[in-house]
Amino acid sequence: MIRESSIRAYAGHVGIRKSNQVVNEALREGKQTAFLSHSHKDAELAKGLQGFLQAQGWKVYIDWEDTSMPQSPNRETAQNIKDRIKRLDWFIYLATANSASSRWCPWEIGYADGVKHIDRIVIVPTRDSVGRNYGNEYLELYHQVSSAEGGGYGLFNPINKRGGLLETVQL
């Protein structure tokens, strides 16, 4: 579980580059990439998570930074999202109150579950400022990013709850 305030702290970091540019460069260079599923109501959290993960070496795509996306969601939006989920190496789901009530986030993880290997789907469960946790129930089927006992953050297996530090995960 990660506190939302910890994620938010990364949102203002200088050096966070627009995801479409970063991901396209990573694809050209053969580097690993990730699609970030989140509620647009959590834009600041999404940018914070992107910054945090970029600091760990992850190349993260956020759909609303992509200038090729339609202004209003439609069939083309859905197709573009499906294409990105398939094309990028990882699928990351930012679990918050807003993503739980979103129309798109459950659709995105359902689609990812059908096209990605289960080891390539990662949940980032969060805890809000009043102590409520998000990322339970069916989301516990997937690997999760959480605080590690020895400090830092790790990527943990859903079955045995074991994993490695995030910066040592082979992307």
pLDDT of residue 84: 94
Q: What is the pLDDT along the chain (171 residues), one digit of tens a residue?
A: 788 888 888 776 645 556 667 777 877 787 778 999 999 999 999 999 988 888 777 889 999 888 888 888 889 999 999 999 999 999 999 999 999 999 999 999 999 999 999 999 999 999 888 988 888 788 889 989 887 777 777 788 887 777 666 554 543
pLDDT of residue 17: 58
CATH label of the domain that carries residue 92: 3.40.50.10140
Write out the residue range of the structural domain in which residue 55 sits. 2-168
pLDDT of residue 122: 94
Domain count, the chain: 1
pLDDT of residue 166: 58
pLDDT of residue 171: 39
The Cα 144–Cα 94 span in angstroms is 10
The answer to whether the CB of 160 falls within 8 A of the CB of 149 is no
The Cα 50–Cα 39 span in angstroms is 14
* Angle subtended at Cα 121 by Cα 45 and Cα 158, rounded to the nearest 5 degrees: 100
pLDDT of residue 117: 96
User: Does the CA dihedral 61-64-67-71 come out positive or negative?
Assistant: positive
pLDDT of residue 165: 60
